[in-house]
Amino acid sequence: MRTKSILPHNLYDMPELREARWVFHDRRHAGEVLAEMLKPHCRRTDLVMAIPAGGVPVGLVISKNLKIPFDVAVVSKITLPWNTEAGYGAVTFDGTYRLNQSLILRLNLSETDIQKGIEQTTEKVERRLERIRGSRPFPDLSNRSIILVDDGLASGFTMKVATEAIRRAGARTIRIAVPTAHAESLQLIKGDADAIYCPNIRSGWHYAVADAYEEWTDVSETEMIQMIEAYSGHESCESKEADSDE
């Protein structure tokens, strides 16, 4: 396999799925596969944290199948003015941001474009925090073991920024769980996680997260909120945490 020589030592994958496309029916199926991979390594005191919006349906399945608490780590990439699918940085739930300086230099972005992108993304993160959390406080991550979930990694930059924010919040360990990833993105984040779970690893110039799924649609903010509200027991993440500590 082309990816074999550069795989991180802390990676759990499924070798039979390397370089394969359309390996998951949808995000729910991907969550089920990840839950099986994580099962031998999880405890009831772990906390699943999903990166919106696409990571939420994956994380909800993992939480439900493994019977561990669920929450959301609101992190959003700062997208290019001419391409909302590509980003040059990310803003996190704690109000901090990080820019991909090497990419900015290659794209020749103006300072005006950069500042506008930061401001718009910060507003987006604040809006999502309000819609998702309301008056409910952010969970105490001090000395917690976190399973950080997204629906796939292209560049890996947003996940890297997310892990940094989770570390700042006091997490003891972070395990990244993603259904699919580009091999180079795994190299970028390998030092930020205690373990990485990724069944489908691909390489090459034409990688796209969507190519791992037979059914792929963007998850809107409204759909994401509805999923969270419909999730059994979600009405109080704190009560779920208390139950798991008993």
3-state class (DSSP) for residue 91:
strand
Which amino acid appears at position 238 of this protein? E
For residue 80, the model assigns a pLDDT of 86
What are the structural domains, with CATH classification, of the chain? 4-245 (3.40.50.2020)
For residue 244, the model assigns a pLDDT of 41
Going by pLDDT thresholds of 50, 70 and 90, the confidence category of residue 86 is confident
Number of H helices, E strands in the chain: 8, 11
Q: Model pTM? A: 0.89
Going by pLDDT thresholds of 50, 70 and 90, the confidence category of residue 6 is low
Q: H helices of 90-182, where?
A: 101-107, 111-133, 157-168
Structure-block tokens of residue 24: 């998951």
DSSP H or E segment with residue 86: strand 83-92
Rounded to the nearest integer, the mean pLDDT of the chain is: 90
- State pLDDT tens for residues 101-132: 888 888 888 899 999 999 999 999 999 999 99
- Main-chain dihedrals φ then ψ at residue 225, nearest 5 degrees: -60, -40
- State pLDDT tens for residues 34-66: 999 999 999 989 999 999 999 999 999 999 999
Stretch 128-145: mean pLDDT: 91
